[in-house]
Structure formats: structure tokens, C-alpha cells
Amino acid sequence: MLVTASVDGEVSEYESAVRESGADPLRVDAGDPDLRVLDRVQGLMLTGGVDVDPATYGGPPDDTEPSEPERDAFEFDLVRAARARAMPTFAICRGLQVANVAFGGTLIADIPESLGDRNDILHRRWHDGRSERGLLDDHVVRIESDSTLYRIVGTTELVTGGRHHQAVLRCADDLRIVGSTSDGIIEALEARFASPFWLAVQWHPESTRVLDAGASRALFAAFADAARAYNPVIR
């Protein structure tokens, strides 16, 4: 299972979640941007991290935190190449944003500024100078009942964590919105194109595996099952 990272970035929580699901993680970063690494794996996981460079989607540069253009470019290439191979893909937080931009969508550069007075749900909470890694009681994702996400977690409302200040603005045409919070922030996407497994979530299931009655573990398990059954195909 390919697990993306920033150069010198920490992804041990994602790797632990992958191992827990019975798969083997392979870390990759933009320091060695070789798409042939996809030949060695059966699934792609795009992980969290810094903001996507606003230049990639025509966003305002003043509202973003530090970005990594080299990582953006590599992950855009990876998610497109994985799609061409019909490879199972699981995108988390920044990964959802990367996938949306890679397929032609745009982003909200900063949720509080965008929503203004309507910003009544915390999408990240600070604790001792760090983003809270657990569940946020009011961060309830409403899930479409005809979605793969619903079939995996078995509920139309899921309390999740949240560690993001950016989000999807315009959803890419080839993706479908299947989860959102009551303030309209998009929290989950699925593919409109054919894929054995393609899911993107804005929250961090790798951090809440012991907190949400099995929903997070079910996501990783479903991804791992699809990867084990993966039959490579190049389109």
C-alpha cells in the first residue's frame, strides 16, 4: 500500500492503520518522484499535510498556510496514474483536496473567512498548541445513504475529528459529494468513474480508530480488502 508523505514527514499513524488492516505500507515522497513505484503496490493512500498550493487551482495566495508545490505535483501525478490503473485509492484530509484539484476542482482557501458568521462548526480545535486529534462532538458528517461510504460505516451521521482549515469549493466533475457537515463543508467524495474502491474523506480516521465504534477501522479494512483483490489494468 503506497502511503504518501512530505519529505522528512511523519506518517507513522497512517502506516499503523494500514498494518492493522492487514496490509503493508510503503512510504513515498516527492524526494524521489517516480511513478513506477505504483508497479510495486496494490493501493494508493494520499495523506494529510500542508495546504495545496493555491496556484494549482487559481485560489487566493494570502489565505493559505505553507505549501509544498513539489509534493502537490507528485501527488497529482500519482492519483491520476492510479485512476488510469483502476487502483484502489483512499485519500485523507489534504489527500481529498489534492484529488479534487487533480481532477479539476477548486478549494476554499480558509473556512472561517469563507463562512464568516456561518462558521459555527469547529473543523479543527487547538489543544496545547496542537490540533486536537480526537473526535469533535459537533463535527457530524452527514452521509448519503446510497454511497460506498454509507455501506462501509453503516450510518448516515458520523461524529468525526477534524484538522483542516481548507475544503472543497467546486467539486471536480468526475467526483461525487457523499458527505458534508451542516454548514455545507464537503467532508467526503467518491468517484463517478469506474474503480474497485475510491474514497476521499476530509477527517482523519487514522487518528480515531479506537474512538468511533469501529467506523474508522472499517474504512481501512474496506480499502485493504479492495487492494488485496486488485487486478492491475492500464487504461
- Give catalytic residue positions: 93, 204, 206
Closest by CA to 52, choosing from 62, 64, 60, is 64
Residues 6+ apart with CB under 8 A from 183: 115, 118, 119, 120, 121
Rg over alpha carbons for the chain, rounded to the nearest Å, is 16
How many CA atoms, within 13 angstroms, populate the side-chain half-sphere of residue 54?
15
Q: Give the number of other CB atoms < 10 A from CB of residue 202.
A: 31
Closest by CA to 112, choosing from 124, 126, 96, 129, is 124
| Residue 133, Cβ density class (10 Å: 0-12 exposed, 13-18 middle, ≥19 buried) | middle
Query: Side chain identity at 105, as an amino acid letter?
Result: G
Residue the block writes with cell 513506477: 36
- Residue 181 CA to residue 194 CA, distance in Å, equals 26
